[in-house]
Amino acid sequence: MTRAQQLLAEYRLNSVNAHAAALVPMLAAMLKQLNIAITQMSAIAVSGGPGSFTGLRIGFSTAKGIALGSAIPLITVPTLAALAGEAPCQNGIICPLLKSRAHEYYYAVYQRENYLDSLLQAPQLVSAENIASTLPEGALLIGHTEEICRQSGIEEKFVCAPAHFSLPTAFSIARWGYQKLMAGDILPETVEPMYLQEFIAGRKI
């Protein structure tokens, strides 16, 4: 939770299959600690994808429920934009990467100038074997890069951010959300996540 660009509170949970049960109690505990009512919030921001189908649906359903029930604006932030925002650099080309299916990654390309990011290439899919030939040489790779950066020749062409930058934070989502709120970029109730792929049920690879 933020006030303008100031972080007030942030909860993190990196545990498999726990968010559906933990998300709402975590939000309630955070609001109680801050002595803030939901109706006092100016807007709620949520990660808009791409990402896991289950994770996006949990996040969207919770955010929509709060926004509709409290009559406050809903704002979505592209997940890859929030991840790029974690990059530890002032200027340069940033390519956030998120694992999709086996041997596939979601990616986008951002240009950073004095800590301000602008989108150069919209989110799309790339196979692991084509990353070296697809992404712009010299870019900072951030996100799910551990397997990619072990590939032969990758570290000669790109800069790999440390592993602790592998996930976008709630603060990064909130910062982008505040900027979009100030710009009037508020979404209709029918907004849906960005999936980029069709859902296929089956064993996780």
**pLDDT (tens digit, 9 = 90+) per residue, 156-201?**
999 999 988 888 899 999 999 999 999 988 876 667 788 876 544 4
Distance CA 137, CA 45 (A): 33
86-165 matches 2-79+168-182 in CATH topology? yes
What average pLDDT does range 39-61 have in this prediction? 91
Q: Which of 130, 109, 87, 122 is nearest to 194 (CA)?
A: 122
Q: Could you state, in order of their start, the residue ranges of all structural domains in the chain?
A: 2-79+168-182, 86-165
Task: Convert the pLDDT of each residue in 107-162 to its tens digit.
Answer: 999 999 999 999 999 999 999 999 999 999 999 999 999 999 988 889 899 999 99
Write the CB contacts of 127 (distance below 8 Å, at least 6 apart in sequence): 103, 104, 105
Helix (H, G, I), strand (E, B) or coil at 161: coil
pLDDT, position 27: 92
* CATH no., domain 2-79+168-182: 3.30.420.40
Q: How confident is the model at residue 20 (pLDDT cuts 50, 70, 90)?
A: confident
Fold of 86-165: Nucleotidyltransferase; domain 5 (3.30.420)
Neighbours of 90 (CB within 10 A): 10
Alpha-carbon distance of 46 to 87, in angstroms, equals: 20
